[in-house]
Structure 1
């Protein structure tokens, strides 16, 4: 955890769920609480309703540490998500990892004012759908992107790329994800961070286009490349420029 907090990630999620063996849950929980006493971080709790998940909620609710927010796995029930948000009083980020979770994407995204974003847990989702991943997950990915934006939430972050040494595959998949409406990515190894940052940061060609578009005040026009530009295109240009400002002022926001 100390290594992650000292690294280049934009946010650190301390995992109490899948990365922790059942017999080690209590010990891991104490390590997380001790870390939060000195460092702001997010926590992925165990599924609410489970014994471990309820113990996580009680411990975090009683903690005075710098809890930035919680990722809530196996999210399916908006009422359960509201309970978590009310109990902790911090931003909650439901992870959709089942067919029912995907079906309830918009209801989860709008379940509580403290919902800060939604995302997929693709390994569990693929298992629940009985698919091998890849193109079979295209529809759930589009579903979560649409639900997030319909709820006024940020574009969802992509799920973890598990082939840690395959940075080329990570790059290609992150590029495809960004084109599909995702922004940023959960990572599980420091070597993955620069790849995600590079893909998500607008390049000079994009920024030059965005600046040229944002500098006009017409309702609609044809740009220097012969492309029609209207309000929707202008909004995308302004979004790209806002991302660039965040990179300069605060570092990458992936």
Structure 2
């Protein structure tokens, strides 16, 4: 399955933006029934999203819905479940049992849908591996604003305050064999250069792709996760050098050791370039 690089949020009560989002250049759109919708418009948003998805023609852009937590969740899922739906984003997941409940619900209403769990509490951080191994789980995410509030920390520019949580979610994803987590949203959609620098820092931690709140964020994010020609050339050189070696290790043109771990990184670059 191809890993999406850009996920564009769209408020669920703004149907005039749905079709525009599909043609924005995003790999996936996320129709939001949770934070982007006021409490008195939740039912309206649910009905609006459900009608639009039901009339949607199949296409190359993935369509997800972020549902509400708690009492509204089951009704949200049952309303939007459709074969054209890639899956649902579950906010504030604190345990694997919450995903298991959704799995049982989806088995009846949309058996092919997948799930992404947003880790937004301390409990979720410490249960990340069990959540990652839950049924239907395609990838984890961090809801960093809510998580910071739950932890009582202030998110600084270098990300130190959330480094533990970020690394734990990445490691849990690898251990569970699911897709890597996309990075959390940034509120910065006016300074593309700053967004790109921030996204590159998250990419170095193991995140792949990013959730976006504005179309202007799509291109800077895509640049980060699309290998350059130089990176592709270097990756091919690494693999060629190792293939030509008489043993399981080789030395590159700069005199650095190449082994299977280095080769794995090179293959990852080439796979992303092909995507």
How high is the TM-score relative to the length of structure 2? 0.85
CA contact (8 A) 1:98 1:125 kept: yes
Q: Indicate if the aligned counterparts of 1:119 and 1:159 stay in contact, CA closer than 8 A.
A: yes
Give the match's secondary structure for 2:195.
helix
Residue 244 in structure 1 maps to residue 273 in structure 2: yes
Match of 2:3 in 1: none
Between 76-85 and 114-123, the greater mean CA deviation after superposition:
76-85
What residue number does 1:232 align with? Answer: 261
Q: Which residue of 1 aligns with 2:73?
A: 53
Q: CA deviation at 1:36?
A: 0.9
For structure 1, the residue ranges without an aligned partner over 5 or more in a row are 247-254
Which residue does the alignment assign to 1:251?
none
Partner of residue 82 from structure 1, selected from 100, 110, 130: 100
Contact 1:36/1:65 (<8 A) preserved: no
User: Within 5 Å, which residues of 2 pair with 1:1-16?
Assistant: 1-16=18-33
Match of residue 154, structure 2, among 122, 132, 157: 132
Matches within 5 A, 1:66-81: 66-81=84-99
* TM-score (ref. length: structure 1): 0.91
Higher mean Cα deviation, 216-225 or 234-243? 216-225
Any idea what the Cα deviations from partners look like across 1:54-77, whole Å, max 9, x if unmatched? 2212323xx445111111110112
Q: More strand per residue: 1 or 2? A: 2
CA distance in 2, matches of 1:80, 1:120: 16
2:171 matched to 1:142?
Answer: no
Provide the secondary structure at the position in 1 that maps to 2:137: coil
Secondary structure of 2:138's aligned partner? coil
Match for residue 104 of structure 1 among 127, 137, 148: 127
Give distance in 2, aligned partners of 1:126 and 1:64.
34
Query: Aligned Cα RMSD in Å?
Result: 1.3
